[in-house]
Amino acid sequence: MELSLAQFLDFSKDDAVQIIDTRISNEFLQGYIPGAIHIELDAIKTLNALKIMEQDCPIILVCTEGTEELAIKRFELLGYTQVRGFLKGGFTTWVEADQKIDLIIEVEVDELAMDIPFDEYLMILDIRTEDVYDKAHIKDSINLPLIEFSDPGSMSELDEHFNIYLIDDLGKELLLAASVLKKQGIHNIRIVQDGWDAVEFLKNKFTIVTSKKKPTNTEEF
């Protein structure tokens, strides 16, 4: 269903309603509606596995014009039956109405490398899966797999005084993770362009470590 700006704003007043922005990453980085979560069209299929939201969650969409019906169909195929509609005119309508916007900052990996020695509040948040993280990661980074973002309690140790840099495998899940964190009130976030792939390219600028395997109990009774 096509929603006017007034209808969209009315729906968004309900805390139970989730705004989802399906635009491509480059467009989302130019600005987005505060509280929205970024899930590109091709990534909608991963929602059930990530458990970012329940299937009965009411949804309103912000889409690239011409892709709205496709987005709705993909959500419905996954069992998300409470899609209330999409904003007519998309993000352009929002901007032209002088509504507030939010931004996520993207940095290149060499900026992270330069900041590490000088920023005592810098936190590297690595959202790759635990097994991948254990094989190689930046020293002193924190592992919080994206799948754990469904539990707000997992973010309890993330504080606004930290300067948080997000890393994933290839950079494709960073905007989703960052937008979820921002929705939870954690705003001091930067995403590292191309994720771990970029770190490996400049690995001589980082201290890369592996996780020690947890000892197994071999004692016999």
Instruction: Check residue 53 and give its pLDDT.
Output: 86
Contact predicate 114/182, CB 8 Å: no
pTM score, whole prediction: 0.91
- In order of their start, the domains of the chain are 2-96 (3.40.250.10), 105-209 (3.40.250.10)
Instruction: Check residue 154 and give its pLDDT.
Output: 78
**Four-point Cα dihedral 157, 134, 190, 15, nearest 10:** -50
Pairing of strands 2-3, 83-87: parallel
**What are φ and ψ of residue 121, in 5° steps?**
-100, 10
pLDDT means over runs of 10, the chain (221 residues): 97 96 97 97 85 90 97 94 96 98 97 96 96 97 91 77 94 94 93 96 95 60 39
Residues 140, 120: Cα–Cα separation, whole Å: 12
Instruction: Check residue 221 and give its pLDDT.
Output: 39
- How big is the CA angle at 179 (ends 81 and 22), to the nearest 5 degrees? 45
Contact predicate 135/169, CB 8 Å: no
